[in-house]
Chains A and B, each alone.
Chain A
């Protein structure tokens, strides 16, 4: 993609730090909710062809639970909180004082609880970034779906679709205990948002 041609290593590092701060705060929020320590993997910042993006969550046909937010404000973008259906059930079992249905299906109440957990985490992800960059970023109300990863993630790529055939995403995984609950945050800033992030953080935009 033209936009990221000659993208310096340094810029990628800045974006990693963005992911680190956002997901770090979200992990802290989750840790408080669960009253358990949460580990976080080093964020990955990748410029990937559309076809490969779903591979980072187990392939285009892998079934995932996703809470989706459109990010509004100075730095528009798309934010996904992604869990496997099993992890979502475990998370519910830990957190919500509701009866958890057996099997693969989720009740209205369970959907609502997952959306709310996603909402809390996305809120802390974005508010820490907003503090860090002094830019406004706020999530829309959460939308939730359980479906094929490819079908879900393609929704976050539409803004990139107009620009080329790759998208840049900031991917952070966090893990509770012995990999019992593992979740992923995908932040996909709109193509025009990168310059604003860099300017706000004092990275010269002509730095290549």
Chain B
């Protein structure tokens, strides 16, 4: 049954949207954060796979807005609003932001997961979007899938199995 469904795949540092039917998915989240915005009335959903917390450190020519939390969350929000979503109805869910490897010492790179989560939360707060589901942190990878009919976010990991948010 699930195999027949329409699935939109979102790669690392990418964003995507889906409407009325099907799933939107991103795989292998480690320190990256998968964030979804959902308008239940339109059954319109968007997902972004964020890699780094802030675009301040960007050294690339053309900025890939989907890569950085501080640019990705507003960009996804705008894309959904342009597609007709009502800002007041949007709800957010997110997963990921783990620390895959534990080092003594480590420094900032090692804390990239928690920093991605913090940055995403700050952006949501600024946009006034409630965070209704979260499965972040830990030291394991996750694959997430949002059902755009129900708004349920499925989080799959090797150790924890499937969680519904």
Contact = CB atoms under 8 A, between A and B. Distances in A.
Interface of A: 1-2, 49-51, 54, 59-61, 63, 68, 70, 140-141, 143-152, 154-155, 157-159, 161-165
A64 B25 CA distance: 21
Contacts of B51: 50, 154, 157-158, 161
Interface of B: 11-14, 27-32, 51-52, 57-61, 64, 67, 98, 100-104, 109, 112, 139-143, 158
Given A147-B140, A154-B51, A61 B27 contact: yes
Contacts of B14: 51
B100 A151 contact: yes
B103 A143 contact: yes
A124 to B, nearest CB: 21
B100 A147 contact: yes
Contact of A155 (B31, B52, B58, B61): B31
Contacts of B52: 158, 161-162
Which of A60, A68, A152 has the most C-beta atoms of chain B within 10 angstroms of its own C-beta?
Answer: A60
Contact of B58 (A1, A141, A157, A162): A162
A148 B143 contact: yes
Q: Give chain B's interface secondary structure class.
A: loop
Contacts of A144: 101
A151 B141 contact: yes
A17 to B, nearest CB: 28
Q: Which 6 A-B pairs have the closest CB atoms?
A: A150-B28, A151-B141, A151-B30, A60-B28, A143-B101, A51-B11
A144 to B, nearest CB: 8
Contact of A164 (B32, B60, B100): B60
Contact of B141 (A51, A70, A150, A164): A150
A154 B30 contact: yes
Contacts of A61: 27-28, 143
Contact of A151 (B28, B67, B109): B28
A148 B60 contact: no
